[in-house]
Structure 1
């Protein structure tokens, strides 16, 4: 098993370029199935989840050409629909949660689809109801084989419909949009997600010939068209990486410049880090974080303890709450972290407590952090990464800690972060990949 060995306590310095956005990539790459024309996509992150989806598209019959490290062309002219009943598809699709994103395009273009029950992070329940209910309102029929955990979907006559989502699911909205662009008539999606990644998808589809209005709001109107064409698309930088690097700089007292961040697309993310007392400057489209010995958590105006919680966009993304939590452990002051969307995402705090952090896990959704103001450093330990975001949070903790840390199950981290050890070493981090057996406890 691969692991990271980290010698912590080193100040880092330099520039780092965020990768393309993972959460955008899974939607945008799936959308190539909506047309038989060539689509060119750039700034694609070279990470496991995205590479698995690209490989899956190739198995389905999509012609794929890699122009350079981050740019591909896709041409979905000859799709093998029989492939979806194969054992290969059931294995590959079941091991990738992002595989759910191919269902909408397949329903829209071919009128049928199949999907194994998807895998992914173990961070609590992640319902697929929003996707399926939306498809059903457009006229799709689902047949679920509970023994094989496999869905077959028939949608030979998709019709536009009024859809009120019970949750503003980003992937659910994206999937329904991709089915609706080729459905007959008009589809209205209310309580739609409006994240920048979803906006990117809608803008790309409109360039392909779709008719989507209300982009950027929670009310989308889609007039179905008969056919879509090719286009070129460049993905946004990954806002989760950008937030992770801000947290890394604060924890390690490092001077770091994050390049080309598309600052207007970051929403409230910079403001939330400012609430923890982290200082930075915007230089052009770069974020410059100076070396900072101490940072002080703000209180609410009435003096009560700050609470940071996740919410649908334009609220704070749940993917950065793990980073906020670990950064708060070395701040001065107290903060309550409230993870509303996933009930298992805070369970990694036991590792931080072992490292010397002062955290009370109130329940599966809330943790109270007492910042120790760097009066002493966290101590290095051996630990296992439970999911992508917690894994990077533990990596940041290890880089700030005194002594050696070993992080096992780094495959989880590498599902979402491209060449992370190489890029951190370029900043001066002492991190190396090793072969090691995971602890048995």
Structure 2
């Protein structure tokens, strides 16, 4: 297990380029199974979750070759379906949340899929019903071995149909979409997720020969095709990293420029941080955050406390609520953070309270943060990273605090942020990795 030793109170300065989007990468990598031709993908982040999925694809028989620092070629002409029945596959798949999206491509191309219950962050219940109900509506037969926690699906005769998803699940929509692109006839998916990463998946599949319309909306139409071809694809910059760097700049009174942010794909993320009082300037596709000694949280028009809540796209992404929460601790004013989707994601606030933050955890989904306006700086402590986003929030808190902090279990942070210690040290941070 690794830890970070963090010296707080340093002001950072410089430019930083966001990595390729983690959540997009997991979808796009699974999609390479849909064709026997070569798929070339660029800006793949070097992070644990992505690397484990690439390793899993290679074990399945996919030819993987690295063509550049962030580029890979994949050829899935010879997939070993027998490998899916091995304990090795089931064990590896269970350690990775994104492995569930292997099922859609496997059903589409080979007519069957098998996977163990996937792991991932301990942030609350993350049910998979949307995925499997969608497969069943396409005609697949579903069986769940409750003792071994293994999902078996037979999809040899997938047929297009109309479906209304019970929730706008991003991974669920991606999985069903990948199964439907080669199903017989037309599939209509209503209440589909429409995040930029899903739009990217649709655009990639259309370049491969799929017929998907309604991209960017919550109503997708898919005309099934017999075969898909190879393609080349570049991932978007990771919007969660971009939001994290905005919060980091404000908390540490740093002047940071985020390069190549593709601002038009960020939705309301910049505006939400502006409502926290954070100044920023758009310079082409770069976001410049000046050093700010003070930033003040807005109120609603009637003077009531600002609420920042997660919502399906184009609402505010739940992955950035932890960043909003920690950033608010040194702002002037009060904000209510409402995490609707996951009931365990706010439990890391006890560490922030130990550091001196004024936070009232109202219930598992809501926390009220009373900004200290830097009158009482956070103090360094020893703490443990419970999940990816909370881990980075604690890292931001440690960088802004007085004294030294130790963050344990930083493997969680490594799952979503590549070389985060090295990249921040290049801006002037003092982060030492301890193995």
- TM-score range with shorter-chain normalisation? over 0.9
Q: Taking structure 2 as the reference length, what is the TM-score of the superposition?
A: 1.00
User: In the alignment, which residue of structure 1 is the partner of 2:402?
Assistant: 402
* 2:15 aligned partner: 15
CA drift at 1:68: 1.2
1:77 is paired with a residue whose SS is coil
CA RMSD, aligned part only?
0.4
Quick check: 1:383–1:407 contact (8 Å CA) kept in 2? yes
Q: Following TM superposition, where does structure 1 have runs of at least 4 consecutive aligned residues deviating by more than 6 angstroms?
A: none
Query: Does the 8 Å CA contact 1:24/1:197 hold for their aligned counterparts?
Result: yes
SS state of the match for residue 168, structure 1? coil
Aligned twin of 2:274: 274
Q: 1:327-375 CA deviation, whole Å, 9 max, x = no partner?
A: 0000000000000000000000000000000000000000000000001
| Separation of aligned partners in 1, 2:165 and 2:148 | 28
Q: Distance in 1 between matches of 2:149 and 2:127?
A: 15
Q: Where do 1:11-410 residues align within 5 Å?
A: 11-410=11-410
Q: Give secondary structure in 2 for the equivalent of 1:163.
A: strand
Contact 1:46–1:69 under 8 Å retained in 2 = no
**DSSP-derived class of the 1:113 partner:** strand
Please list every run of 5 or more consecutive structure 1 residues that lacks an aligned counterpart in the other structure: 436-441
C-alpha displacement of 1:428:
0.3
Give the equivalent residue in structure 1 for 2:422: 422
Shift of 1:143: 1.5
Runs of 5+ in structure 2 lacking a partner?
none
TM-score w.r.t. length of structure 1: 0.98
Specify the alignment match of 2:432 in structure 1.
432
Matched, 1:3 2:3: yes
Shift of 1:284: 1.1
Which whole-Å deviations, capped at 9, do the CAs of 1:300-324 have from their partners, x for residues lacking one? 0011000000000000000000000
Task: Give distance in 2, aligned partners of 1:432 and 1:199.
Answer: 38
Aligned-pair distance for 1:146? 1.3
Alpha-carbon distance between aligned partners in 2 of 1:345 and 1:208, rounded to the nearest angstrom: 37
CA deviation vs aligned residue, 1:48-74 (integer Å, no higher than 9, x gap): 000000000000000111001210000
Question: CA offsets per residue over residues 67-122 of structure 1, 9 Å max, x none?
Answer: 01210000000000000010110110010011001000000000000010000000
Summarize deviations over 1:215-259 as a string: whole Å, max 9, x none. 000000000000000000000000000000000000000000000
Alignment partners' CA distance in 1, 2:309 and 2:217: 21
Rounded Cα–Cα distance in structure 2 between residues aligned with 1:83 and 1:280: 50
